[in-house]
Structure 1
Amino acid sequence: MTPPHRGGAPVGFVSELGPIEAGAVLYLRLWCEDADARTAVWNDLATALGPAHGRKALKSFETLCDLCVRHGRRPLMRHHVTCKCLGADESCFANFVGYAAEGAREDALLIATTIVRPDIAPCLVGVAQDFGLALKRMALKARLPLETPTTLH
């Protein structure tokens, strides 16, 4: 019997993550699910960011996933889309995108070298930053009130 891969070991819960990190995990899971789930990713991004910015975010995310697949040290282990657990690889990916979105380039680069070959890591950080900033805009937009309160004149 083959032992389970450590990258899939539960290390926490998705609910413990911030919005950028949770979004990164959810979209990674969806992207790897099937074509319908990939369409859902596009619809989510386009709805939240508008078609032009949604397309840019999607392109960054597609490139991020492609680089991880083509140049990854090994396949990233993922839990099912609806699973509440957070796997070790998912945690690494979430923190990587979070650091990149914050502009913590050195920390993001360090984590990127655990995901892909070192020569690809700087490219991975760039697209993760673009995608992470899109997730950040989505999170900020979700917190904005729909109407300006009349008491703020």
Structure 2
Amino acid sequence: MMPQHSERGAAAVAVLSNMDPWEANLVLNLRLWCEGSSGQSQVWNEYRKALPGEHATHECHAFETLVHTIVSSAHRPLVRHQVGCSCVGADEAVFVNLVRMASEGHLNDAALVATLLMGPARAEHVALLAGQVGACARKMSRQSIQPIPQTAQNVVRLH
């Protein structure tokens, strides 16, 4: 039996194939980023391929800051599935909903959703970052680029 903390946030609540492409890619980038330096390199490369020069650096840094802020402020370790897994866990779904709401301009709702993962002190800041990340993720998805995997602290990989 798995430790109790890894069960929370692990429940499969969706599948990648039923999500908008930009949302599925966002989940994959989150998984890759949390895998460590190899996965982070893949995410950086995706941004570099999809966006021009300094814009790629700026946008990927926003993604990095968003993930780091959430992971470092999380109530408990975030649970994610392996990069190749087709299901989406509850924590991953909360992340996507946070980014979707923020990128649609619903910053107050996004800040509230952020508190499902972390304390309220940084929720507004996270909502603003999530809006930027979401707008960029939508743009990159239109250019159709696929990522692949490596291990962030305070994140538990389920399967």
Give TM-score, length-normalised by structure 1: 0.86
The one of 118, 123, 126 aligned to 1:124: 126
Corresponding residue to 2:58 among 56, 59, 64: 56
2:36 and 2:121 map into 1 onto residues whose CA distance is: 30
- Cα distance between partner residues in 2 of 1:119 and 1:82: 34
Higher relative contact order (CA 8 A, sep 6+): 2
SS at match of 2:71: helix
The runs of 5 or more residues in structure 1 that have no matched partner are 143-153
After TM superposition, which residue ranges in structure 1, 4 or more long, deviate above 4 angstroms? none
Is 1:106 aligned to residue 130 of structure 2? no
Q: What is the deviation of 1:23?
A: 2.0
Letter in 2 for 1:17: M
Q: Is the 8 A contact 1:45 1:54 kept in 2?
A: yes
- Bigger Rg over Cα: 1
Unaligned runs of 5+ in 2: 145-159
Identity of aligned residues (%): 39
CA distance in 2, matches of 1:19, 1:99: 16
**Residues 2-151 of structure 1 mapped to structure 2, 5 A cutoff:** 2-3=3-4, 4-142=6-144
Whether the 8 Å contact between 2:102 and 2:131 is mirrored in structure 1 is yes
Shift of 1:51: 2.1
The number of residue pairs the alignment matches comes to 142
Return the structure number with greater helix share.
Answer: 1
Alpha-carbon distance in structure 2 between the residues aligned to 1:75 and 1:93? 14
Contact 2:59/2:136 (8 A) holds in 1: yes
The letter for the 1-side match of 2:99 is V
Give TM-score scaled by structure 2 length.
0.83
- Alignment correspondent of 2:149: none
The CA deviation at 1:35 is: 1.1
CA contact (8 A) 1:97 1:108 kept: yes
Deviations along 1:11-50, whole A, 9 cap, x unmatched? 1201111123212211100001121111110000110012
